[in-house]
Amino acid sequence: MATRTTSTSSTQGKKGAAIVGHGRSTADGPGPDVMDAETLIGDKVVNAQDEDLGKIEGIMLDVQSGRIAYAVLSFGGFLGMGTKLFALPWSALTLDTDEKQFILDVPKAKLENAPGFDKDHWPSMADPRWAKDLHAYYDITPYWEEEIATARDPRTTAGSGRTGV
């Protein structure tokens, strides 16, 4: 069963997708902290109740900031017909390394009522109003309003406990 150990609340100050599971400490190679986006395409997405919400179809990069902006989730339909796409704020997701899936901590009904689109009619994801409304729907602080540096990042001097480089 999918269990959430972190909150997606906008008060948490999350900087990206959280990572849970033992895979973080046992992974060979670059993952899971740094991964090729292609390895995440097709990953299953479930909610905290372990209900299937779909799969990751794409990962959208904010080219100017160099940050991941959204994951595109496909949900519903049959054999590709009637499938609806949803943009999810990247920080709304948690990567579960044990189950090799993402967790989106929303009830299935909330996703079913979320603003979505079809493969031929994508929204303008650079539109600030659209982006703010989307982040508000998922109760996530927009990524462009978050500070990039964090004291919890072990790659930084502040996060490593060292006083200088």
Which CATH number does the domain housing residue 72 bear? 2.30.30.240
Task: Let me know if residue 70 belongs to a domain.
Answer: yes
List the pLDDT tens digit at each of the 165 positions of the chain. 444 443 333 334 456 777 777 655 555 656 667 777 888 899 999 999 999 999 999 999 999 888 899 999 998 766 555 689 999 999 999 999 889 999 999 999 999 899 899 888 999 998 999 999 999 999 998 888 876 555 455 555 554 444 444
Three-state SS for the chain is CCCCCCCCCCCCCCCCCEEECCHHHHCCCCCCCCCCHHHCCCCEEECCCCCEEEEEEEEEEECCCCEEEEEEEEECCECCECCEEEEEEHHHEEEECCCCEEEECCCHHHHHCCCCECCCCCCCCCCHHHHHHHHHHCCCCCHHHCCCCCCCCCCCHHHHCCCCC
Task: Let me know if residue 61 belongs to a domain.
Answer: yes
Task: Let me know if residue 160 belongs to a domain.
Answer: no
Task: Let me know if residue 76 belongs to a domain.
Answer: yes
Total number of domains constituting the chain: 1
Q: Which residue segment(s) compose the domain that 65 sits in?
A: 18-146
Task: Let me know if residue 141 belongs to a domain.
Answer: yes
